[in-house]
Chains A and B, each alone.
Chain A
Amino acid sequence: MSHTTIQDSLSKKKDHVLDLIGTDQVQKIFGNSDTEAIAFTFSILDLIKKKSALYGTNMNTNSQFYTYSREIDSCKTWCADISLDLNSGFSNTELIEFYWDLIIITELQFILPYYLQNKKYYYKSVNNSIIKKIGKTLTSVINEKKINNSISENYSWRFSGLNYSLIYIPLYFKDFIWGKSDSIYFHVILPRSSDSRESLTEADKVLIKHSKEWLLALLELASDLNLMYMRLYIRRSDIGNISALLKNLNWIGGKLIHNEDRDKLSKNDIDMNEMLFGDEEFLILEFEC
């Protein structure tokens, strides 16, 4: 039996997401020169096959595309784009599979690098752990009960999101930006910008030069999603790419957030699979929305 690494599974899932999201409609959006970014968000309630479970509640399950562009004589804004609709092209089962892929990819951004390539830790157990966590959150949301969690609220990236997002800002990021949110925080994980750390690539330079533009795009999205704070997760290997942002962090109201104290975490009674995850790979910045 050959063991798949988590990295392999992650790549496959990303390809799958790309296949689904890269519809002709979406391609056309970027043919429109005014559109600078696109985002897709959905609620974990969308994972429920029988929507009848939600009757009588005011819970919104509709997945939604947003595009970021400048209207004539206006500032750049995110607008819900109803012309984009995955429901028409795919079956409910395909969509649910797609949602799960997005969730798992987002959650796996926090897996520690050691476990990413290591075959000993099978993808399956991590996968099951994420599914279990989402299931627990879903149950609590439907029953309108607060989840009892032993993890500090300060490290809410460990909680499953209520909504998940995929953001694409092709001018500045060649890869997708993964995001999830609870009712307060929008956790945004920036993609690894480059494998080569010896010198800045042209793409890196663009990213540095336009940090205000992409940061504003993300802040506006977080604000439109009615969230209070946005937390940006930047891989420590990419710190050079946000140097301008860091140097001006105080001026733009951002602050550094503590990394998690893993020693304290291990003392708590948590799922052992949780120990495969961590935030130490990231520099975390927080902004008000």
Chain B
Amino acid sequence: MNVEFGQVLSSSSTLVELGKVSNVKVVEDVTSTNISNGNNGLPHEPAHDLIFKALKTRIESINQETCEPGEENSFFICDLGELEKLYINWQKELPMVKPYYAVKCNPNPKILLKLKELGLNFDCASKSEIETILSMGVDPSRIIYANPCKASSFVRYAQDKKVMKSTFDNVDELYKIKKFHPDSELLIRISTDDSTAQCRLSTKYGCDLADVESLLEKVKELQLNLVGVAFHVGSGACDFTSIHTAVKDSKFVFNKAKEMNLPELKYLDIGGGFQFETFSESTKTVRVALDEFFKEEIKTKKIEVLAEPGRYFASTALTLASHVIAKRTIADNESMLYTNDGVYGNMNCILFDHQEPVPRILYHNNDFKYYEFDSTSKSLPVIGGQKKYPQKVSIWGPTCDGLDCITKEYYLKYNLEVGDWLYFPNLGAYSSTAATTFNGFQQHSDFIYINSIEDKLL
């Protein structure tokens, strides 16, 4: 029996509430909610002890009197065990969906290698991403080339490297594919309602349902190899009803292809946009939608469902530590803190991914504060007439550029000084990938690897 979507919505208040939230992503303070409220419905807790050990070891190794330039650079702690935990959770929640990791989200070689070992496939957006994945010994059949803006040379490259799966959303692309890669296995990318997503892919990419028929006609006319349907609800979407609608729309395309006597479609690509914090809710919607529209096809293995998760795997695996390099006092208990990383460095996600990294105090007054998860707050709660967080700060990157602002207003328990450290949990998605140099501050993404499953520093 099919489950009515309305029933699911009413039985899951979280879904309804999430639909109302703003589309600006606050990097979830997973740490503090976990500590105070159990795991709060999250699949697992961060490996605090190991992350702290790695942070502490690194910071203690820096002798501030004698260190070489660069030793005080910001650095990441990357938990490769977290990737494994996330994959296990993926298999638990979406066993019928094969993940193709979106390389663009974080192409760190060790992360890619770990995901390869776990058996994930890959979603590549550029020639260099394809090259990277192939150089790891991954078979081209495990790659989908999902760049929605392909020049002819890109199509030729895919043909040359025998990367068969690719998406399209317009006639021009079909002509290019016919000319340069006629045997390509094509998935038609349909647009979705991505209005609640952080990064709105459909705003630019994907065809309207109204255009599907003419595109399928063209596929038929050009005798191309249409194998499936793809959609993407946008990265960081918070209204999961769009997933349900997109699956429904995909079914429409499957039926339309059948009606037009095209070969039966065998792939449904449900895209990405999954996040750790909302994974349970979003996957619930996926399961319900698949059950409603593709139950039989999945059961009889007539279709294969795939997805393009990036953020879900990369985000919680990385913690960034950054050093306070300057301080400007504005008034009593109010100051501007400058750290050695910012939007032109590893927090580029603020500018281009709409993230709001959460600063936590790591080191102050010769003492580590990692476990004081409540040492910072975005708002200023007053408890019993007392301000719980006496220090109001804005936090800036090192470049003196007006855009290089990590947060305009935050409240801290301690009065940080130059030489103190901050850390930013869950900062693995679209962060180090886009690091740049501005006003002469070199950014090298420095990684320390740990494995929380094996409980060791690597």
Task: Among B128, B129, B152, B173, find the residue whose CB has the most chain A CB atoms closer than 10 A.
Answer: B152
In the complex, are the beta carbons of B436 and A257 less than 8 A apart?
A: yes
Q: Does A256 contact B (CB under 8 A)?
A: yes
CB distance from A213 to the nearest CB of B (A): 9
Residue of A nearest to B441 (CB): A261
**Which residues 117-131 of B sit at the A interface, judged by CB distance below 8 A?**
125-129
Query: Of A75, A77, A248, A261, which contacts B440 at CB under 8 A?
Result: A261
Residues of A within 8 A of B199 (CB): 247-248, 250
* A261-B440, A262-B440 known; A250+B147 contact, CB < 8 A: no
**Which residues 250-276 of A sit at the B interface, judged by CB distance below 8 A?**
250-253, 255-259, 261-264
CB distance from B403 to the nearest CB of A (A): 9
Q: Does B104 contact A (CB under 8 A)?
A: yes
Q: Does A44 contact B (CB under 8 A)?
A: no
Task: Among A252, A255, A289, find the residue whose CB has the most chain B CB atoms closer than 10 A.
Answer: A252
In the complex, are the beta carbons of A252 and B152 less than 8 A apart?
A: no
Residues of A within 8 A of B456 (CB): none
In the complex, are the beta carbons of B172 and A252 less than 8 A apart?
A: no
* A253-B126, A264-B440 known; A248+B179 contact, CB < 8 A: no
Query: Of B126, B152, B437, which contacts A223 at CB under 8 A?
Result: B152
- Chain B contributes a number of interface residues (CB within 8 A of A) equal to 38
Q: Does A220 contact B (CB under 8 A)?
A: yes
Q: Does B438 contact A (CB under 8 A)?
A: yes
Interface of A is mostly: mixed
In the complex, are the beta carbons of B148 and A259 less than 8 A apart?
A: no
Q: Does B196 contact A (CB under 8 A)?
A: no
In the complex, are the beta carbons of B149 and A215 less than 8 A apart?
A: yes
Q: Does A147 contact B (CB under 8 A)?
A: no
In the complex, are the beta carbons of A212 and B125 less than 8 A apart?
A: no
CB distance from A39 to the nearest CB of B (A): 15
Q: Does B293 contact A (CB under 8 A)?
A: no
CB distance from B123 to the nearest CB of A (A): 10
Q: Does A205 contact B (CB under 8 A)?
A: no
Residues of A within 8 A of B149 (CB): 212, 215-216, 219, 251-253
In the complex, are the beta carbons of B151 and A223 less than 8 A apart?
A: yes
A251 to B197, CA, bound (A): 14
User: Which B positions have Cβ atoms within 8 angstroms of A?
Assistant: 104-105, 125-129, 146-149, 151-154, 172-173, 175-176, 179, 199-201, 203-205, 348, 351-352, 430, 433-434, 436-440, 442
User: Which A positions have Cβ atoms within 8 angstroms of B?
Assistant: 70, 73-77, 211-212, 215-216, 219-220, 223, 244, 246-253, 255-259, 261-264, 280, 288-289
